Amino acid sequence: MKSKSIGILTKPKFPEIKATVHAVVNWLRDRKIDVILDSTSAALLNERGGVQKTQLAQKADVMLILGGDGTMLNAARLAAERGIPILGVNMGGLGFLTEVRLEHLFPSLERVFANEYVLDERLMISSHIHRHGETVAQGLVLNDVVISKGTLARMIELNIAIQGQFVTTLRGDGLIISTPTGSTAYSLSAGGPIISPAVRSLILSPVCPHTLTHRPLIVPDDAEIDVTLTSKDEGAMATLDGQVGVALTQGDTVLLKVSEHRTRLIRFPESSYYAVLREKLKWGGS
């Protein structure tokens, strides 16, 4: 890959992050690669000139993520519109999105520059929250949109429609609308299925439904989903990728559909989605 520039996004809480950022920046600059740092990464190196995270994906040709899945989700939203490739280096614990272990960082970068990689395109959800006919919030997500009750509310009531057709009224703690990538996140904890990212679909997973016959529902990737909060609940929220929260009031509608944008993850040919599942979920076998 003849890359003009690499943008580096970090999560500064990891104890080895400063030394890692220093080493990787020197490695890249020694190879005449233009390095763009977000302000957090620049501060770790005592450098000036770091850019805001929102500008990182606008200036870089590739994003290198040093962190965990949360940092990757942040990067996915930042990179979505330009569709630039993302390489994730796992510096945390459980990680389904990060491709590279820290000890393999430099050999993996060598492989990227030698074009020994593939791009794994992942569906994203476009979400719009409407109130009295106006859009009050919107966003792209890689994992999920969660509509949940407030801390004190017993349960919320949601009307769900797909392709303009009423499906059900759900009473419970909430609803998760996830991509196949997000099927191994909160949706899995709520009893949802694991969906291979190669399957073009969305998953609706109820959270603690009052009616026990409400089960996870898988719909095709061209489905448009409308979820309306019909109960009057203080504290009800729509949360995008677990990172951006929007307060909901009675009558608000969350409109969701698959975005035209994709998250493009750098993967290596020997990588196996099922091997990741086996390792992360501690399934048996070799």
Query: Most confidently modeled of 53-57, 68-72, 153-157, 181-185?
Result: 181-185
Boundaries of domain holding 10: 5-117+268-280
**Residue 286 located in a structural domain:** no
Number of domains in the chain: 2
* 74 in the same domain as 189: no
Spot the catalytic one: 69, 144, 173, 233: 69
Q: How confident is the model at residue 102 (pLDDT cuts 50, 70, 90)?
A: confident
* 11 in the same domain as 94: yes
CATH assignment at residue 227 = 2.60.200.30
* 214 in the same domain as 108: no
What's the pLDDT tens digit per position in 37-54?
Answer: 998 889 889 888 789 988
Q: Where are the beta strands (DSSP E) in 100-189?
A: 100-101, 118-131, 134-141, 144-148, 156-162, 165-172, 174-178
Residue 69 a catalytic site member: yes
* 129 in the same domain as 250: yes
Predicted pLDDT of residue 95: 76
**What mean pLDDT comes out for the span 137-143?**
96
- Report the C-alpha gap between 169 and 156 in whole angstroms: 10
Residue 189: which residues within 8 A CB-CB, separation 6 or more? Answer: none
CATH assignment at residue 275 = 3.40.50.10330
Predicted pLDDT of residue 13: 81
* 144 in the same domain as 71: no
* 250 in the same domain as 135: yes
